[in-house]
Structures are given as structure tokens and as C-alpha cells.
Amino acid sequence: MKLDYTHSYDAAPETVAALLRNTAFLDDVATHAGATEHTVEVTADHTKLGMVLAVPGNLTKFIGSSIRINQVFRFEALRADGSIPGTVEVDVPGMPVEVNATAALTPRGARTEGRYTGDLTVRVPLFGKKIESQVEPFITDAFDGLERRATDWLSRKP
């Protein structure tokens, strides 16, 4: 399944990349996502946010009562054109599910466009497409949650 998300941030690309490496920000993202537990890991080369999320009742027979989603962001250095390329990986431990996407933080005047494009893959013969359609809302919510919380954080006056 193809994924394509475009976010708009009210800040320069380097400010957005720094926010996506901020432990307090990622804790906030997990809290607002309703995570029952979460972990944050920020290193020189990546940022990882792991969340355990409750599964709606109608999906528990397929997925279980909760789902763990790990998002790993890797951003490169600022380019001469002001953009910051990167990658995003999402995995769902215990399920044959993965997301591999490219990321691009691109200046648009005083704002930044964040574009994330890639593939959601479920490696289960016959049932892969059904599982993709059930997991995709969790992936979408995770990406949308980042944008919502970034909008809030970036609107705060220093």
C-alpha cells in the first residue's frame, strides 16, 4: 500500500528537524496519541519513538488488544537549498508489517513542507491486503499526531 503524507510546519526545516529530535516533544506526541506506554531514543543518527496503542474493539480479533508501533526518523544535514532529506521506518513488532518511506523537509517561504512517501508492506499471503487496511489507520494517526503536536509546539512563544 502506497503512503503519501504532506505536513506543513510553521518554522524552518532545521527547526522542525530539531523538534523531531526533542525527547520532551516525542513524549508529548506519545501522550497525545493515547499510548499506554512509550519509549524515546535520540542518538546522533536517528530518533526512535515506540508506542503501545489500544486497538479498537472491532479489530482485536485480528490484531489483539494493543499494537506496538516503532517510528525511526533519520535526517541528513541541511542542504544548500535549505532542505533536509531523510527516511522514516515504521515497524510493528510481532506482525509482518513494515513501512519504509523517504522524508523531505523543504522550505516554503517561512514555513516547511514535510513530505513522507513510501510503502506499507504486510508479508502475509492472502490476508496481507486486509491486514494493511487495518494497520494503515494506526500509521496515519501516528504521522498526523506528529503534525498536530508540532503545530502546537511551534506556536509557543519562547
Residue 120 amino acid letter: L
CB 149 within 8 A of CB 29: yes
* pLDDT tens-place string over residues 70-102: 999 999 999 999 999 999 998 888 877 788 999
Domain ranges for the chain, please list them. 29-155
Contact 69, 90 (CB under 8 A): yes
pLDDT above 90: residue 120: no
> What whole-number distance in Å separates Cα of residue 89 and Cα of residue 99?
5
Topology adopted by domain 29-155:
Alpha-D-Glucose-1,6-Bisphosphate; Chain A, domain 4 (3.30.530)
Pair 89, 69: CB distance under 8 Å: no
**The model's pTM:** 0.85
* pLDDT > 80? residue 47: yes
